[in-house]
Structures are given as C-alpha cells and as structure tokens.
C-alpha cells in the first residue's frame, strides 16, 4: 500500500502549494520528472547530470516492503528494470518484508556490505527512521521512497507520491465535469480509514469540492483496498444512494470490486474517477464503455526515479533539466488525472 | 466440560429433563435462544426500517443483505461443525484466499466454469485434509495447526498472485452474479447458502455423523469409549470446513469477479463470532446451525444499516462490538434461567 507518512510541516507546505496553485505547481513538478526521464533515455546529453552514459560504477541497495498489493509489486518491477538499464549500476535487492525488525536487519546488512547508495521504501517510515540515520552516519546516502522517515536527517532525498494531490485533482476533475449542474451529488469510496494517506486523499477531495458550491458530497464509506471490500462497500453505497452524479474511489484495486458491484446493480447514471493507475483501470477508461472515466495517478514509476536519483547521488551528479549541481532534497510526484484523452500515454505504466 | 447438551430431539433426549414452566417447556430450550436472536434481528430490521424506510425495506436491499451474507455464511456452517466438536479453525479466511487465487489462476488458462469450481473445492478440501491430519493424527492442538495453515495458505496465495488481482473473464461464472441469474428473485449465491445451511442442519441434527460431532465435543474420552473413532471424526470435520471454504471461495469469485490474496480477510473471526452469537459453545458439545446463520444475518444486517445511514467505519466497529456483547448477554440471560 502506498503509505507516505509526511510530518506536519511538509504536509502543510505541500498542501498550501498545491491548493493555491494546483495546476502550475503540478506542471512544474511533472515538468521536472518527465524531463528527467525523457532526457535520460537518449544518451546524447552533455549536461553535468545523471544520464545514460556509463560513469563510475554504483552499487545501490534496495529494501522495500512485501509486495502484497499490485502497486508495491509494480514498485519492485520498476526499480529492477530501471537498474538493469544502466551498465554502471549494480542492484542489491532484499526480500520484501512488512516486519519492521526484519527490514531493519536487511538494511543493516546492506550498510555492512558497504553499498554506495540506499533506496528504502519502509514498511513503516517512522519505525525505520533510526536505521536511515544509521546509514547516513555511515556515509551512505539514502533515497527515501514514498513512506517518509521521521526526520530529514535520515535521508538525502525523498521521492514519493502526493495523496492530498490525488484527492484534490480528483475533486477538480469531477467539479469541472459537473459544472453547471445544480444540486450535484457526489459520493466517495475511501481506502483503509486507519491510514494517514486515506485522510489526506479525503481532505484534498473535500478541499477541491469547496470550489464548486453546486456540488455536495452526500456519502462516504471506507473500504480496505481489496477487491472484496470494494465490492461489498460499493454495493451498499449504491443501495444507500439511489441517485448521484459522481463517485471518487481512492484505489483502483478495490475499484475492480466497486465496478463489479456497479455492474451487478445495473447502474450507469454517474461518472467514476479511480485512484493509483492500475492497468485494468486504464483499459476500462480507454474502452469507455462503463462509468469509469478517469483515474488519478499515484505512480509506481517513482521507484525507477529513485534508482535514477540514487545513481546520480553515487556519481555525484545533478539531475538533467535542473540547473543545480546536486539532486533535490525532495520530489513530490504529480497526481495526474488520466482520462480518455491521455490514457495511451500512461498505458505502459499501468500495474496489474 | 458440560454434558453434551444437544438441541432437544424426539427420541434421543438422554438429557435429564428439569421440570420447566409450562411456557418454557412448550417452546423448548434451543428455541428460546433462536427466538432471542430473531428478536435482535427484528430490532435491527425495525431500526433499518425507521432510519431508511425507502432504501432498507426494498427487495433489492434484501437481496443484497442475503448475498453479502452468503460467502461468510457458508464458511460459518463449516465452522459451526468444527466448534461443536470442541475444535477451532483459524485458517478459513486464508483457505478462501488460497482457493480463490488458485481457482482464478486456472481461470486465466481457460479451464472455464467447472475448472474454477473444482479447483476451489479441491484446494479447500486439500487444506482441510492437512488441518485434519495434523490435528487428528499428528496430535496437534487445533488452534496451532490451523494458525500454521493460516500463515502458509496466505503466504502461498501471495506467492501465486505476486500481490496482483486476478480478474476473471469467464462469462459463465460472472453471469451467476448478475441480476438475470436470479431464480424467482433469489440470487444464486443465496440459493447455495440456503442449500449448504439445510444440509448442514440435517447432518448435525439428523445423522449419526452429527451426533458423533456433538459427542466428541462434549467429552472426547467418553465418545471414544462409546466406540466412536474420534480421530477419524475430527479429520472429517476439518475436511468439511475446508470444503465449505472452497465453496465460499467460488461464491466470492462470482461476487467480486476476481481472486486476490487478500480475500477472506478476518473471516475466521467473523465466522467464530457468528457461531458463538448463534449459541454454539466455544468449548464444544453444543452447536446450532440455525443460530449461526442468524448470527451471520445479524452481522450483515448491521453492516447494511450502517452503510445506508452513512456511518463511518470507526463508528461501525464500535457498534459492532457493542452488539456482539449485547447479543451474548441477552442470550446468557435467556439461557441461564433454564
């Protein structure tokens, strides 16, 4: 499960930035990251930045949680395949684990092996802060992926997704679609309620909807990020709300179940926006035969970017497309809205 | 250990009859329990009807509640047998997960309807067999053996899927979850649930197998002295629970159109709770299928009413806990006066 746990100041600053200027901030961020990857694939590039040209050999240690969810699986795949692209990168990957003690042990092993850079997607960011600090003190820079450590001292660079932005962009998309419709009714199928990220997604959604006084959120139910819970909760929501105009579902995996419930209830009188960016969701959006019209990204490509950043760190380079000599301290990915108009562009990033 | 107190049956009532007030004698012990459960259900229906009359008292909603209770309901019938025999099966949720992902893996290879159905049932029975052998012949405590099965079946399910959701495209399976497949307004899932319930009731209350189950749960040593092959009986019971999980996995595939390693999450607790609320003794020796099924219906009705009234999950969990306590307290009161 994508589960960044940013601390308050980071959250508020990010919130302010995104809420104030969602579009411009987003364009800036997406500009950075997409430039980076685009500029890197074709090798010809004489900027003092991370590029495809083989440089100093770098050994990157990668430690992630157990891939018990499609998104996490995609994270591992992205990291592995990006590392393979570089002839100068050796990837030391540990067995994924959701057990804090076990993951700490794995990272310590990587530190003892003296890898050049560490990429860590902690099962629990707060619990793994200490081992991040340990690595940094041992002179191994850490790229913290998605679920954030408790202190910036524990990582050199954080790269991750934007849960608040997911909600915000989903809300804006729905708001624009329902513009001009008076008394529009919207419902929300949230993810696991005891995760911080679920609250952030809901908060972003609610904040976006405040811009559209004609829209009212009439119901919200939390599912558990699973197909089974998505089906069960959606079936109930459909029964509870005989008439509504739009649905935002936090997660494409539980969305498989939600779509099944919608199909079983024979409903097609509303539009649905998903979250995360699963391949099945992209395909449904492309087909355009059902209620699912868009999904808001939480891109697993962040793992590939983390490898890029780790390599740049190991070779002492900056990032292509930026003027700085060093890589940034943190990069928040943009939660782009993928709908029929741009789905082809994103299809290859869809995870199963 | 209490004496094996089975629901009063004509002809087999070896339990010494305490003189009862006439009205109590008329309805009988088990029926008081059932009535109190029906009472709880009636109160819930009343609450649902008052708070959301249009949505709750709707045929579609009735179909929905019953459909959602079907999967866990089938698991609970199997669980009732196991608990009645003095055992416990903590692996039911994991078996449902494993059976559903294994069956949907087969589905992706175009084995079709029967392929999915049989794979789910075989995986369920296979896991039940391992449980049964470990417990009956390996001498392991049911709690530990099925806990081990819980861990390994979930692990295997994760390994098979790689954490991915396996979407089923076999139309003949999916069609069973559609409205067109309803027989006289009853969804096929509910029909399966009803059949499993009736068979379960008959087996527990009207067969030698059922009587042996109760006897083993009441006093295993006495049962052994009475000539019952206790070990074989236990093996069969875990096989039965596994089979129920396999059937439930198939129902879940129909319902959700997919297999996922997270399927059946916390089914073990829901099934145990439903059985206990229904009046099955956790220490064994008494089991009631009717009670278990009512327990399942109470749970699904609660969930339904909460969702219709848009209560958040934290409130739902608190209330669910409170209702479990209330139901059991009411039951103890009605039961202790006998």
Is A163 in contact with A201 (CB distance < 8 Å)? yes
A347 close contact with B: CB closer than 8 A: no
pLDDT digits (tens, 9 = 90+) for A285-329: 999 999 999 999 999 999 999 999 999 999 998 888 888 889 999
Judge whether residue A169 has pLDDT over 90.
yes
Distance between CA A1 and CA A223 in Å, rounded? 13
pLDDT at A95: 84
Q: Using alpha carbons, select from A2, A294, A277 the residue that is nearest to residue A123.
A: A2
pLDDT digits (tens, 9 = 90+) for B30-64: 577 788 889 889 999 999 999 999 999 999 999 99
Q: Which range among A32-46, A114-128, A267-281, B255-269 shows the weakest confidence by mean pLDDT?
A: A32-46
Say which of B163, B178, B255 has its CB closest to residue A231: B255
Q: Confidence band (pLDDT; 50, 70, 90) for B316?
A: confident
Chain A residue with CA closest to B70: the answer is A232
Q: Using alpha carbons, select from A102, A74, A78, A111 the residue that is nearest to residue A277.
A: A74
Say which of B162, B165, B304 has its CB closest to residue A256: B165
Asked if A228 lies within 8 A of B262 by C-beta distance, the reply is yes
Asked if B163 lies within 8 A of A73 by C-beta distance, the reply is yes
pLDDT at A22: 43
In the predicted model, what is the mean pLDDT of residues A35-59?
A: 56
pLDDT at A17: 42
Asked if A240 lies within 8 A of B55 by C-beta distance, the reply is yes
Asked if A228 lies within 8 A of B310 by C-beta distance, the reply is no
Cα four-point dihedral sign A139, A145, A147, A152: positive
pLDDT at B163: 81
Asked if B262 lies within 8 A of A231 by C-beta distance, the reply is no
Share of chain B above pLDDT 70, in %: 87
Q: Using alpha carbons, select from B45, B226, B224, B238 the residue that is nearest to residue B126.
A: B238
Q: What is the ipTM of this complex?
A: 0.84
Q: Confidence band (pLDDT; 50, 70, 90) for B18?
A: low
Q: Using alpha carbons, select from A126, A146, A166, A163 the residue that is nearest to residue A75.
A: A146
Q: Which range among A47-61, A126-140, B23-37, B222-236 shows the weakest confidence by mean pLDDT?
A: B23-37
Judge whether residue A271 has pLDDT over 50.
yes
Is B275 in contact with B80 (CB distance < 8 Å)? yes
Mean pLDDT estimate for chain A: 86
pLDDT at A19: 42
Say which of A222, A263, A278 has its CB closest to residue B313: A222
pLDDT at A25: 41
Say which of B64, B256, B309 has its CB closest to residue A228: B256
Smallest CA–CA distance, residue B178 to chain A, in Å, is 5
Q: Using alpha carbons, select from A204, A173, A206 the residue that is nearest to residue A187.
A: A206
Q: List CB contacts (< 8 A) between A221 and chain B.
A: 307, 310, 312-313
pTM, entire model? 0.83
Cα four-point dihedral sign B116, B118, B121, B124: negative
State whether residue A292 is helix, strand or coil.
strand
Q: Are strands A215-222 and A117-120 parallel, antiparallel or unpaired?
A: unpaired
Q: List CB contacts (< 8 A) between B307 and chain A.
A: 221, 233, 236-237, 239-240
Q: Confidence band (pLDDT; 50, 70, 90) for A20?
A: very low
pLDDT at B32: 77
pLDDT at A46: 40
pLDDT at A98: 81
Judge whether residue B130 has pLDDT over 60.
yes
């Amino acid at each position: 499960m994508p589960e960044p746990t940013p601390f308050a100041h980071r959250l508020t600053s990010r919130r302010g930035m995104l809420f104030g200027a969602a579009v411009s901030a987003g364009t800036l961020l997406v500009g950075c990251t997409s430039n980076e990857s685009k500029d890197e694939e074709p090798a010809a590039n004489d900027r003092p930045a991370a590029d495809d040209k083989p440089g100093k050999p770098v050994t990157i240690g990668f430690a992630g949680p157990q891939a018990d969810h499609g998104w996490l699986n995609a994270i591992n795949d992205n990291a592995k395949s990006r590392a393979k692209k570089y002839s100068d990168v050796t990837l030391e990957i540990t067995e994924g684990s959701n057990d804090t003690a076990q993951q700490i042990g794995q990272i310590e092993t990587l530190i003892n092996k003296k890898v050049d850079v560490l990429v860590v997607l902690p099962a629990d960011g707060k619990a793994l802060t200490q081992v991040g600090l340990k690595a940094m003190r041992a002179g191994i820079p850490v790229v913290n992926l998605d679920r954030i450590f408790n202190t910036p001292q524990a990582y050199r660079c954080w790269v991750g997704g934007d849960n608040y932005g997911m909600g915000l962009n989903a809300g804006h998309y729905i708001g624009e679609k329902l513009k001009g419709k008076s008394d529009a009714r919207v419902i929300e199928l949230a993810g696991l309620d005891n995760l911080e990220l679920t609250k952030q997604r809901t908060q972003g959604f609610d904040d976006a909807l405040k811009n559209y006084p004609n829209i009212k959120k009439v119901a919200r139910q939390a599912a558990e990020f699973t197909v089974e819970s998505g089906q069960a909760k959606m079936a109930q929501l459909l029964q509870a709300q005989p008439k509504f105009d739009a649905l935002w579902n936090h997660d494409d995996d539980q969305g498989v179940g939600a779509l099944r419930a919608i199909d079983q209830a024979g409903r097609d009188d509303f539009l649905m926006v998903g979250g995360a960016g699963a391949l099945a969701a992209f395909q449904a959006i492309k087909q355009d035969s059902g209620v699912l019209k868009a999904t808001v990204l939480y891109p697993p490509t962040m793992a590939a970017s983390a490898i890029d950043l780790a390599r740049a760190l190991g070779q002492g380079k900056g990032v292509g497309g930026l003027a700085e000599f060093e890589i940034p301290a943190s990069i928040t990915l943009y939660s782009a809205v993928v709908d029929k108009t741009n789905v082809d562009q994103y299809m290859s990033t869809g995870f199963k | 250990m209490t004496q094996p107190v089975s629901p009063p049956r004509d002809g087999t009532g070896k339990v010494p009859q305490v003189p009862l007030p006439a009205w109590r004698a008329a309805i009988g012990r088990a029926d008081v329990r059932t009535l109190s459960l029906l009472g709880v259900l009636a109160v819930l229906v009343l609450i649902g009807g008052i708070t959301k009359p249009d949505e709750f008292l709707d045929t579609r909603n009735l179909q929905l509640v019953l459909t959602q209770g079907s999967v866990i309901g089938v698991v609970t019938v199997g669980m009732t047998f196991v608990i009645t025999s003095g055992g416990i099966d903590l692996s039911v949720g994991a078996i449902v997960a494993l059976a559903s992902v294994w069956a949907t893996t087969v589905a992706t290879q175009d084995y079709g309807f029967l392929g999915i159905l049989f794979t789910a049932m075989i995986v369920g029975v296979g896991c039940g067999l391992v449980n049964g052998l470990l417990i009956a012949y390996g001498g392991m405590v049911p709690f530990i053996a099925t806990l081990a099965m819980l861990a390994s079946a979930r692990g295997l399910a994760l390994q098979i899927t790689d954490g991915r959701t396996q979407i089923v495209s076999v139309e003949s399976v999916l069609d069973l979850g559609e409205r067109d497949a309803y027989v006289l307004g009853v969804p096929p899932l509910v029909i399966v649930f009803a059949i499993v319930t009736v068979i379960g009731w008959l087996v527990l209350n009207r067969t030698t197998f059922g009587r042996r189950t109760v006897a083993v749960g009441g006093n295993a040593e006495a049962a052994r002295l009475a000539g019952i092959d206790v070990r074989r009986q236990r093996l069969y019971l875990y096989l039965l629970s596994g089979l129920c999980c396999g059937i439930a996995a198939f129902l879940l595939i129909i319902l959700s159109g997919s297999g996922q390693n997270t399927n059946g999450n916390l089914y073990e607790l829901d099934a145990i709770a439903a059985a206990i609320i229904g009046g099955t003794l956790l220490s064994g020796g008494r089991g009631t299928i009717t009670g278990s099924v009512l327990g399942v219906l109470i749970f699904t009705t609660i969930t339904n009413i909460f969702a219709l009234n848009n209560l958040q999950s934290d409130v739902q969990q608190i209330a669910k806990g409170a209702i479990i306590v209330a139901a059991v307290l009411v039951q103890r009161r009605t039961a202790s006066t006998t």
